[in-house]
Amino acid sequence: MSDEKKIEYPCIWEYKIFTSDKDYVLKEIADLNNNIKILSSDRQSKNGKYTVIDTSLYVENEEKRNEVFTKLRNLKEVHLVI
């Protein structure tokens, strides 16, 4: 028996994006998918090196969730997406 939680779709999924260029990434997020909601964009990482952008998006299925994750991760100036 697995302890993994099963994700039930559709659902609201949140992504945390760590970037060194907040303005650029916010523009790219808007261009990528205008349904991505920006929850906050002013928090700094522990060492102050990156800005953390908290987002949420309604996703229909795992494929869509992973597709958006990959697109976010591949943006220039994005260092981490969780």
pLDDT at site 34 = 84
pLDDT at site 66 = 97
pLDDT digits (tens, 9 = 90+) for 61-79: 999 999 999 999 999 999 9
The DSSP secondary-structure symbol of 45 reads P
Q: Would you kindly state where each structural domain of the chain is located, as residue ranges? A: 11-81
> What is the rounded average pLDDT of the residues 19-46?
95
The reported pTM is: 0.89
31: region left, alpha or beta (phi > 0 left; psi from -120 to 50 alpha): alpha
CATH of the structural domain 11-81, one choice from 3.30.70.260, 3.40.50.300, 3.50.50.60, 3.30.70.580: 3.30.70.260
Helix orientation angle between 22-32 and 62-73, rounded to the nearest 10 degrees: 140
pLDDT digits (tens, 9 = 90+) for 44-64: 999 999 999 999 999 999 999
Structural tokens at position 65: 């969730």
Closest by CA to 19, choosing from 57, 68, 69, 75, is 75
Strands, E assignment, the chain: 11-19, 37-44, 51-59, 78-81
